Amino acid sequence: MSDNGFEPQITAFMCIYCGYMAADTAGALRIPYPANVKLVKLPCTGKTDPRYILQAFEEGADGVYVVACPVGNCHHVRGNERGYARVQRTKKLLDAIGLGGERLEMFFMSGGQGQAFADAAKEMTERIRSLGPSPIKERVNELTG
């Protein structure tokens, strides 16, 4: 599966409604998706917090994405829109940090869209693979040998 031998580590934050259900649907339908994605549940993507995202990078994630209900269909009405705004702000912060905002993304899908979930995981894995490992992890590796 790997082109350059680099298997990115990715953290995905997802709401317990559409996001997590989509993951579940993908599993039930046996749609394959990359196994390198760590899933973290949020009560709603309105709970998206730059602190969580930055922490994921601090702990070695090469990429992070957030999976939310479709716009207009959030279980908390507009939580996903708030989450999106925070993702946009955090992208800018990642640019300022030097990690690059493109290592962070947000996807919207309904609970039944197992294929969309698998596609998002693939898209992020491919994007991060082409970007290469997070410089943070490289530093950590350098330090720990």
Partner 1 sequence: MIIGEQKPLEEIKELIGDARKVLVAGCGTCVAVCSAGGEREAQILASALRLAFQVDGNSREVTEATVQRQCEWEYIDPLAEQVAESDVVVSLACGIGVQTLVERFPEAWIVPGLNTTFLGMPQEQGIWVERCQACGQCILGVTAGICPIARCSKQLLNGPCGGSHDGKCEVNPDIECAWHLIYERLRKLGKLELMLRFQPAKDWSVSRDGGPRRIVREDLRVLPET
Contact positions vs partner 1 (CB under 8 A): 49-51, 54-55, 57-58, 93, 96-99, 135-136, 139-140, 143
CA pair distance 93, 40, nearest whole angstrom: 21
Least separation, in Å, of the C-beta of 96 and partner 1?
4
How far is the C-alpha of 145 from the C-alpha of 138, rounded, in Å? 10
Q: Which of 10, 25, 111 is nearest to 65 (CA)?
A: 10
Q: Which is nearer to partner 1, 86 or 129 (CB)?
A: 86
Q: Closer CB to partner 1, residue 41 or residue 78?
A: 78
Report the nearest approach of partner 1 to the CB of residue 6 (Å): 18
User: Kind and range of the H or E element at 38?
Assistant: strand 37-42
